[in-house]
Each structure stands twice: as C-alpha cells, then as structure tokens.
Amino acid sequence: MKKSAEAKACLSRLLCLSSAIFLVSASAGAAQTPVANATVPDLYMDGGGWVTMSNDFFPPKSGLGPVRADPGHPYIMETGRGQVQTFRVSDTNHPALLPWVKAELEGVNRQVLAGKPLYTVANSCRPSGVPNILLVRITPFFFVQTPNEVWLIWQNDHQVRRVFLNREHSKNPKPSWFGESVGHYENGDTLVVDTIALNTKTTVDNYHTPHTDRLHVIERYHMVDRNSLEVEVTVDDAGAFSQPWHALQKYRHARNETGNDLPYLYEEVCAETSATPIDIGLPSIPRSDRPDF
C-alpha cells in the first residue's frame, strides 16, 4: 500500500532530523582527525539512498574475481522470453577455493540440482554480514557521515554498519555479524572501509560460499558521479581461499515514485514482510509462542 505524501514527507524529515542530531552529538564529542590530501565526498546525498544494480557481484576491474555461476547451469533471475527462473549453482573450479570450501559448495550444488531451493541469507531474516550485505537488492541503503564515524543503514530489516574513521583496529575485537570496521577517505571521492572480526554465521556471496573467522574485507566506496556509486571489494581469508579475490558492486541513486530527488527510508521488518500468500518454499518466519508484553 502506498503511503500518503504527508507520511512520506514526515519520514524524510525524521531521517534528516535524526541524522542532524547524530552529526551534532558526534562532533561535540571529539574534533575530526585531519586526513592528508583528502576531502570528504558527500555520500549522504541529502538523505538519499543507494540501490544495488545486481544481487551478484560484478567482475572486478583487475585481479581474480568472485565465485560465479557454473557455465553448465547459468543463473537466471529475470524471467521472460520463455526463460525459467533458476537457483544458483556455483562454479566450484574457482582457483582460490580451498578443498573444504569446494566440498561444501559441491554439497550445496547437489541439493539445488536435486530440486531444493537456495535462497539468499536475507530471505531467512538473518544479518547479511560482509561483503554479502552489498548484494541486498531492491531496497536502498543510506549513509550518515560524522567527523569520526560513518554509519551505513540498510532499509532491509534495519541492518546497520558502523565505521570508525582514522583509527586502528582494536587489539582483540569480538567476532560479530558485521565485524569491526575502520575507514578513511581518499582522493575526495572514496571511502575506504577495512573490516575484520566477522563471525562464521554468514557467507560471502549468494552462492553460499563459506569463510572462516580470519576473513578480512576491504571495500572502496567510490562516487562515480552524483547518480552512481561503485564499491571495489577485496576478500582475503587464508582459512578459506588460497589467495585474495576481488569483486565490484554498482549502485544507482534512488528516486521515489514522485520523481523527487529524495527517496524515503521506510520501515521494513523482515519477519513481518517476507510472508507470501502462497507457499513458495521460503524459510519459515520467526514467530513467538507468547506475546512480549
């Protein structure tokens, strides 16, 4: 159901107001650390969101790329012209896969080829992790930039990442869904994010490629222009891959249905919105046995 224009305007004002409050409180706590030869790109874009162009990674500009679909079983997402949508079957001949990772992917492939659905992690209402969060489609994500931190907020199930600017990693960070991220700006148009301490409950892509707790991800958020954003990704995990691999993700700046420049951050709770009127094989939705209050 479409929200009224008044409700949209209210949501937009709330987003801008909360971001402004956050900026003031953060800047009051500490002065911004100077960054040599760099200015700060406007990733916030007046509260506008960014929408990914694909739920698979694009090939990198250089270097070894990510796991892709098995050439004998191409992944078809958009139906039409007689095509039937398929689930992903990975190419297990990727040269960086260690034997245990290859074996796990081969097991996933056997299940898919036997008719079992393979849904993305977002379909089961779990946090996506890094770098899988970059593959969340359709709904936008938003930047909130402060002098000492950058927050990345996904509309999809309220997923949030916190990036500390211009500091080192903690000595012994506790593993978590999104790990510990530190970052800095480069060249006036790029945010570099370095993430470690990721738990092993996630996969690095939608082929369900696993990783270990040694996973180290570097993302470079580069504004191509005011309507385009690219993220260059480097994935390094000596426990899962024999060498680092690289990937690219592309985003467009979102527009709402009225054609204005400000898209809106809607509330989207996964467990409340992933239900469908017919059974299409999606994972079960979390439910409570009794009321919370």
pLDDT of residue 262: 52
Which of 236, 238, 200, 243 lies closest to 218 in space, CA to CA?
A: 236
pLDDT of residue 267: 77
pLDDT of residue 71: 94
Is it the case that residue 124 has pLDDT exceeding 70?
yes
Q: Would the pTM count as exceeding 0.85? A: no
3-state secondary structure of 6: helix
Task: Kindly indicate the confidence band of residue 211, based on its pLDDT and cuts at 50, 70 and 90.
Answer: very high
- Range picked from 14-18, 240-244, 278-282 for highest mean pLDDT: 240-244
pLDDT of residue 156: 82
CA torsion, points 197, 100, 64, 228, in degrees to nearest 10?
A: -50
Mean confidence (pLDDT) of the chain: 81
pLDDT of residue 121: 75
Which of 76, 75, 56 lies closest to 66 in space, CA to CA?
A: 56
pLDDT of residue 126: 82
| Tens digit of each residue's pLDDT (9 = 90 or more) over 46-67 | 788 899 989 999 999 999 999 9
| β-bridge partners, 143 | 152
Which of 161, 216, 229 lies closest to 190 in space, CA to CA?
A: 229
| Tens digit of each residue's pLDDT (9 = 90 or more) over 76-95 | 776 556 566 789 999 999 99
Which H or E run contains 112? helix 99-113
* Contact call for residues 198 and 187 (beta carbons, < 8 A): no
Q: Which is higher by pLDDT, 277 or 139?
A: 139
Task: Kindly indicate the confidence band of residue 287, based on its pLDDT and cuts at 50, 70 and 90.
Answer: low
184: tokens are 């800095």
Is it the case that residue 261 has pLDDT exceeding 60?
no
